[in-house]
Structure 1
């Protein structure tokens, strides 16, 4: 038998149960991964609680939970090349990642080799955050010498965006709760609070103007950037729906460069990039982990481990 996190109904509130199911096996073109860690993302609980979001992502009840995972391959189906039993890997399996075993199909599911020196907890948190961060930076066309506003900068996507933008030579103004300001300074950003008056604070922090913006939580940074005269084609948003205000550009991991995942994972292995883990929970406490994630104000990532 194999442990699996399941919800019987897409609803709010939703209920997650850890069940025992028969072990899945790899068919031709597939590998089975013994999952060791699975990072949480806001989209996970949104899928679980909103039928329209679940339908958009092709998730139907009864369903599993989560997308990101890391572990090692313990079974390889016929015809698979480039992966072998014992390989440490990470990737994405929408709506079924938090489990003892996950079967992934080569070419349709996300699967990558975990670089030496990257823990399963970090690798298991990378797929959505890394690809979304890369996509947002590409849409906003962040380059050396730019001043860029990053809204909601302390979360999993935000910490990667900040570090990559700073590495490009950009000046980053990052919104977050005050408790995360020292943390963001440590990443090279200029922190400021979110809420009323953001556009005025921007004028004080960036008297020469703002060149681009990335809003990772709603539309507050979008409005502040528009008020600051930022070209809407250089305002990227990931959580404002398909039609954000003012002509800002919605984006997500699907717009990442093909090499984004491997490149960012290697940067972590090389010590050039960090993805902090705020807390880990064993699979039996998955509901507590999701409650913490859903509460917001997470610094980096929340991870579910599968001992």
Structure 2
């Protein structure tokens, strides 16, 4: 194991060496060996933060530790802190954030809420990092699943809880879209939030078991949501004579988002939305995006 340690320190992506360590550790019963493996992989990641083999080995260790522990709260907290420190030093580190995304499956509701709040501050300082927003997507989905489970158990406040969470997240994302022009990570996250909003709050529109009153309430929410998004798009499509290209990129991103949104909303709302699009500049940008394709792929 000592010779192997020297080998992985010199060659962090040597998969055979890491696999040999797994084989030896799996035959032992000492919990301290798993702790030592976490320390070793942390040491390797301190100077080779994008080593896929080191991250993979770390996940293998945590899986085995999870079998013998009733709770992983402390490990999850330490892992989140480690990822955040490494991501701060190593920009756009997909592997680090992918590891943190993997941890979401082990989190309870309280840890999910904590992770959402902590990553909000980090995302606000790194608005171009797609991986961080992908992590937030998984946390939001986890919260939604928890609320849906409560709803099945008869909790009448779960739908209201989801509404408040989504409204806060939409407002937060809109604030950063207006502050940081042309950042596609923010616009992609906006698509994610809008898609889940539409699917969740329009899924009961045609439900025969729903009362007429609840159906009307849901449809009004959709209309209000579309009006709000149209105001955002119109404000972002207003260009400037500034020499920088950020304004033009912002306009293209907003038009692309609107074009995407028209394909996601219910059929009953599409005509209503098209009638509201009266901004000539936005209409021109929509045609431009349709001809040359969006600046980034749809999600």
Q: Going by fraction, where is strand more abundant, 1 or 2? A: 1
Whose relative contact order is higher, 1 or 2, with alpha carbons under 8 Å and at least 6 apart?
1
Q: Going by fraction, where is helix more abundant, 1 or 2? A: 2
TM-score by length of 1: 0.26
Instruction: Answer with 1 or 2: which has the greater Rg.
Output: 2
TM-score by length of 2: 0.27
